[in-house]
Amino acid sequence: MKPNACFTPRAYQTELFEIARKKNSILVLATGSGKTYISILLIKEFADQDPDVGSTCVCPDCPYIEMARDWLPLLIDYT
């Protein structure tokens, strides 16, 4: 996982990203610890591997949906 111009991942985020990209995982972290960021990076990783495969991001309420919506274009190049 490479740092992005908008965000540099913490060591534990990189470690969890690497684990989750290799096998199904459930990440349990405190509020504000970067779960949404890790999930967006995983969406990008899987889309880069196979652009025809879709992804789903499940969020418990509107603020998280809005956060994912706002971060996706910053972290993923859709072109």
3-state secondary structure 16-74: HHHHHHHCCCCCCCCCCCCHHHHHHHHHHHHHHHCCCCCCCCCCCCHHHHHHHHHHHHH
Q: What is the pLDDT of residue 4?
A: 61
* Element of type H or E holding 78: none
Q: What is the pLDDT of residue 18?
A: 95
Cα–Cα dist 50/27, whole Å: 23
- Give residue limits of the domains in the chain: 11-75
Q: What is the pLDDT of residue 13?
A: 93
Per-chain mean pLDDT for the chain: 81
Q: Which residues contact 73 (CB under 8 A, 6 or more apart)?
A: none
